[in-house]
Structure 1
Amino acid sequence: MNQTKKILSSLLLALGVTFFSYCSSSSDPNYAWLMSLASGSTAVTAPTGTTDFGVDINDETTPVDFVFDTTRTITVNIQVLDPVAPVDGSMVQVTVPSATPGAANNKSVFKAYSNTSGEVTGSFTIDGDTNTVHLQVEAYGKFYDADINIVSVTSISRRISISFTANVTQIVDSDGDGVPDSEDLYPLDPSRASTIRIPAEDYYTISFEDLFPKQGDADFNDYVVRSYFEEDLNAAGEVARIRGYFTHVAKGAGYNHTLHFGIPGASVTSYSLIHIGFDGTTVEENLSGVGPTMTDLQVLGNSSTTIPSSNASRSNTTFVKGKTAKLEVILASPISKLILGSAPYDTYLSVINTGKDIHAAGKYFDANGKDIYRDATGFPWYLLVPGNFQWPYEATDIRKSYTQFQPWYQSLGTVDTDWFRNPITSEVFPSTP
């Protein structure tokens, strides 16, 4: 409503009168006329005067615990101010360069619009070897752009002061969420404005060792799944819906398993789950359910039925994809990404033979504060890797397949951050995208 008052005041000032002297109540026909300008075809502002941006940079480099992460989550805190007041509805977007050869556009990893205090908060997740992101802030149709080296940055925190004010123009905002229809991916749904894909390109490969709590052979091919996610965000950058895609791609183990999914920090209204057969198109099962929580949803069934080949043997190197699950979750109310956490959220493996669950490191701790899912040497049973990770052959230690892996984790992730892109090809299964 503050933005509406600013808009109405701007209109009235342009007419040489004040808001309170011109229309004193909502029953005044002049008030109704002005309100009609602020809905449907919503009144917004355009710049006048010089278009300079002043920026106070308070980016942070707070150390984070190393838990064998191959991705990094960075928080965002931006405030936009004009000479009169905070700027409500200013677009803030973070993008990364496309890794696809010949691709012209950057990929968005964060997008939100400032609130009545001119503030945007949230987070985004990128590959661990990404060195630069691009920040763009829009104010009254003008743009502040900056490339940011994020090698050691954990929080992008900036106050952006603009030297110009605005005149009134007209745009269409059909759902009244403050986002123009021309920028709104869901122009008739006020709970959603944009969609972020995670990762921005390709997918994650999640590789498990299944002997927990015993140490495994570190080949990380006992159960392998490819996954990617989409988050539907509202104008504030909060998550309203989540979609997840999971394809079983390797089973180099004698044990059988089921794959599960949880979002412990969110309340759920409903979900839908579709299972796709080996051909990648045939729907085998279409399930649905309701909340209020989701902590242990089984997304793929017994691994003896979800993949036709181990995809881990040196004697059979023909890669064959397994079955796919497609999940959509509608949240009871939009939730901040800082509370929700980053994809793949709590995607975990349940081992049928042992009755044990295997989660990512850094999520669950015992009464003494020890990470449950790291062994006595600090090693995990779970690895998440961006893109087409080529897992080791059966019984081949990952340290032999990826010579940069050991220096990477011994340095706590400070060197060889691209280790997963450089396999010894004779020691890994030749999986294809």
Structure 2
Amino acid sequence: MRFDRKWPVAIALLAAIILLASCSKKKKPFLFLPLAEGGSGTSLPIGDGSTPASEDQSANAEIADQTGETDFNFQTTQEITVDVTITDPNGPVDGAIVNITDPDQGGISVFQGVTDENGNVSGQLTIPTTSDELELVVQVGETVATQPISTDNLIGIDRDIEFTQPTDATQIADADADGVPDGLDYYPQDATRSSRLIYPAGGVSVVAFEDLYPTAGDADFNDFVVQVKNEEDRDAKGQVVRLRGEYRVLARGAGYKHNLFLNLPGHGVAHIVVRDGAGQVVADLTRSLSSFEALPVFPKSIDYFANPAMGSAALFDSSVLCPGMCNVSEGSQYVKGYTAEVEVIFEEPAPTLSAAPYDLFIYVLNTQKQIHFPGMVAGATDPYIDANGFPWALKMPAEWNWPLEKKHIESGYPQFKSWYESRGATNRDWYLQTTPESSDNLYRYFSRSPIAAYVLQYGLSHQSLLWAFVSVMLTGLIVLLFLKGRSEFEA
């Protein structure tokens, strides 16, 4: 039998092209601002990492980051304030791009803003508590400076960066004239927004509630379970101007009924689309609101806003969103719950927001009680921590399989106990850690291959690694085809 050698050669060429394409990206020169004792950085010349550039440009960084212990409130994400000032010998640098990325989330941007006439940009960012280090990237014209930021007990980023030579922040291509070059502007034709931030970077969060407040529950955290995706649009100053959320009801292991609400500051326009389990639109409404407090996530109609009230018949409750004891029993067929898409357009850039998914809470119709995440109410004692030291609500910044009915969360996630007993100091990724035995106590909704897990966690931010993996797989296929073809040829 004749062996056609064209196919292995073609596949080999394809693998080589992919690998070369992933490794041939041009890298811009950068300036590394190293951390130094006493908070001042040491100057280094611009270079490509090994060879100094011809321009004698350097910079110093004065670091006054705020660190300290924060109250443990069962949160799996942390909020960090940002205050960065850029100067050169001529004074404050207006129009410098300040970007902060998270290498532990595949290098995704967690903050971006443009300095004002005082050379300053400020705001806040949210990252998982599992992130160990961030990277500060400052771009002024063609000059790019980077510096690592340790997240150990980090509360606020406070840095003054001084370039020793005059800089030129002139941008060549900026179609909407917002100060952000088109190459870094997610909305290059819209001057009101320039960046889009996704929470979490991996794609989805899962929020789980116990509903017996103020009585302690059974800690299976499946009374009401919702998958959440959040996006923020920010302007050139790093302020939130739009917010989007997608909410998918995953489970309901309770006899009580619930409404889902979202507390946000400010006012403006809300657009909400609700779909049933089959994907059919059952509500589509837009409303200008004087307040975003207690914004319903699953309204039935615009009539709700004429007489807003928790428990209103104009809202979908959880008995409709996921009927019966929904997706909490082992071996039960999965029931698709309702989904809602919510977009909020702020009339004015939003003041400080809490960490995504923000103040998302349920109202229990049977008890007429609200249930919030811990830490949402200021005071000497947190009303949303029960007598056993447990919360009634948890959020996980990742795909998370919830416990089966009457299965304590510790039976499904063995590291949960050590995490909360250490007050978050150890086992910060407890929600990702299971064993074959503990997994038997979970409703296995999320399951994925290693490749899918990589893409969901990092997207395409690590393209060279992804393409290298694909190339290796193609090479393996070449070898298999070659051996198979040779054996057929010899036969």
Shared fold per TM-score greater than 0.5? yes
The structure 2 residue matched to 1:371, chosen from 351, 365, 382, is 382
1:276 equivalent in alignment to 2:289: no
Equivalent residues of 2:213, 2:369 under 8 A apart: yes
- Residue in 2 aligned with 1:84? 90
How many angstroms apart in 1 are the aligned matches of 2:170 and 2:254? 64
SS at match of 2:410: helix
**What is the aligned partner in structure 2 of residue 356 from structure 1?**
369
- The aligned amino acid for 2:441 is E
The correspondence for 2:417, drawn from 396, 406, 431, is 406
Q: Displacement, 1:48? A: 9.5
Displaced runs of 4 or more, over 4 A:
167-170
Mapped pair 1:63 → 2:47: no
| Contact 1:70 1:384 survives alignment (8 Å) | yes
Partner of 1:335: 350
1:168: how far off?
Answer: 8.2
User: What's the counterpart of residue 147 of structure 2?
Assistant: 146
Shift of the alpha carbon at 1:329? Answer: 0.6
Q: Using the alignment, how far apart are the partners of 2:170 and 2:131 within structure 1? A: 39
Alpha-carbon distance change, 52 to 294 in structure 1, aligned in 2, over 3 angstroms: same
Structure 1 residues 341 and 71, CA gap change in structure 2 (3 angstroms): same
Shift of 1:315: 4.2
The verdict on how the C-alpha distance between 1:285 and 1:83 changes in structure 2, with shifts beyond 3 A counting, is same
Question: Which consecutive residues of structure 1, in runs of 5 or more, have no partner in the other structure?
Answer: 1-46, 100-104
In structure 2, the partner of 1:345 is: 358
Correspondence for 2:404: 393
* Corresponding residue to 1:302 among 311, 317, 341: 317
Secondary structure of 1:370's counterpart equals: coil
Aligned residues of 1:78 and 1:158 also touching (Cα < 8 A): yes
**Which residue identity is paired with 1:132?**
E
1:250 deviates by 0.7
Shift of 1:49: 4.2
More deviation in 217-226 or 145-154? 145-154
Please report how far the alpha carbon of residue 98 of structure 1 lies from its aligned counterpart in structure 2 after TM superposition. 6.5
Alignment equivalent of 1:313, drawn from 329, 345, 352: 329
Partner of 1:197: 198
Give 1:73's aligned residue.
79
Pick which of 183-192 and 74-83 moved more.
Answer: 183-192
CA distance in 2, matches of 1:111, 1:283: 35
Q: Distance in 2 between matches of 1:74 and 1:365?
A: 18
Q: Which has the higher strand share?
A: 1
Correspondence for 2:176: 175
| Kept in 1: contact 2:77–2:355 (CA 8 A) | no
Residues 310/140 of structure 1: CA separation in 2 closer, same or farther (3 Å cut): same
Question: TM-score normalized by structure 1?
Answer: 0.82
Q: In 2, distance between residues paired with 1:76 and 1:365?
A: 23
State the distance in 2 between where 1:212 and 1:62 align. 32
CA distance in 2, matches of 1:359, 1:169: 47
CA distance, structure 1, for counterparts of residue 271 and residue 171 of structure 2: 39
Which residue identity is paired with 2:186?
Answer: L
Provide the residue aligned with 2:232 in structure 1. Answer: 231
Following superposition of structure 1 onto structure 2, how do residues 38-187 of structure 1 map, counting pairs within 5 Å?
A: 49-97=55-103, 106-166=107-167, 171-187=172-188
One-letter amino acid of the counterpart of residue 411, structure 2:
K
CA separation of 1:175 and 1:48: change in aligned 2, threshold 3 A: farther
Corresponding residue SS for 2:236: coil
- Give the residue type in structure 1 aligned to 2:326: S
The 1:138/1:381 distance shift into structure 2, 3 A limit, reads: same
Displacement of 1:285 in angstroms is: 1.3
* Counterpart Cα distance in 1 of 2:321 and 2:364: 14
Residue pair 1:98, 1:201 contacting (<8 A) in 2 also: no
Structure 1 residues 137-191: Cα deviation after superposition (integer angstroms, max 9, x where no partner): 1122211112333132222221111122245866243433222333322233322
Residue 211 of structure 1 corresponds to which residue in structure 2? Answer: 212
Distance 1:415 1:170 in 2: 45
Q: Name the stretch that deviates more: 299-308 or 159-168.
A: 159-168
Tell me if structure 2 keeps the 8 A contact 1:48–1:167.
no
Displacement of 1:53 in angstroms is 2.1
TM-score w.r.t. the length of structure 2 is 0.72
Distance (Å, rounded) in 1 between the aligned partners of 2:403 and 2:88: 55
Q: Is the 1:49–1:164 contact (alpha carbons within 8 Å) kept by the matching residues of 2?
A: no
- State whether residues 96 and 169 of structure 2, in contact with CA within 8 Å, keep that contact through their aligned partners in structure 1: no
- Residue number in structure 2 paired with 1:323: 338
CA RMSD of aligned residues (A): 2.0
**Aligned partner of 2:58: which letter?**
D
Query: What is the alpha-carbon distance in structure 2 between the residues aligned to residue 297 and residue 182 of structure 1?
Result: 35
- More helix by proportion, 1 or 2? 2
- Residues 365 and 153 of structure 1: is their aligned pair in 2 closer, same or farther, counting only changes over 3 Å? closer
Q: Give the total of aligned pairs.
A: 374
2:288 is matched with which residue? Answer: 290
Q: Which residue of 1 aligns with 2:442?
A: 428
Q: Decide whether the 8 Å contact of 2:95 with 2:169 is kept in 1.
A: no
The answer for unaligned runs of 5 or more in structure 2 is 1-52, 299-315, 448-491
Larger mean CA deviation between 388-397 and 205-214 belongs to: 388-397
Task: Give per-residue Cα distances to partners, 1:61-108, cap 9 Å, x unaligned.
Answer: 121111001111122221111111111111111112375xxxxx6211
**Paired AA for residue 65 in structure 1:** D
SS in 2 for 1:173: coil
Secondary structure at 2:419 match in 1: helix
State the Cα deviation string for residues 279-304 of structure 1 (Å, max 9, x = none). 3x432210111121111122132111
Q: Which moved more, 1:172-181 or 1:288-297?
A: 172-181
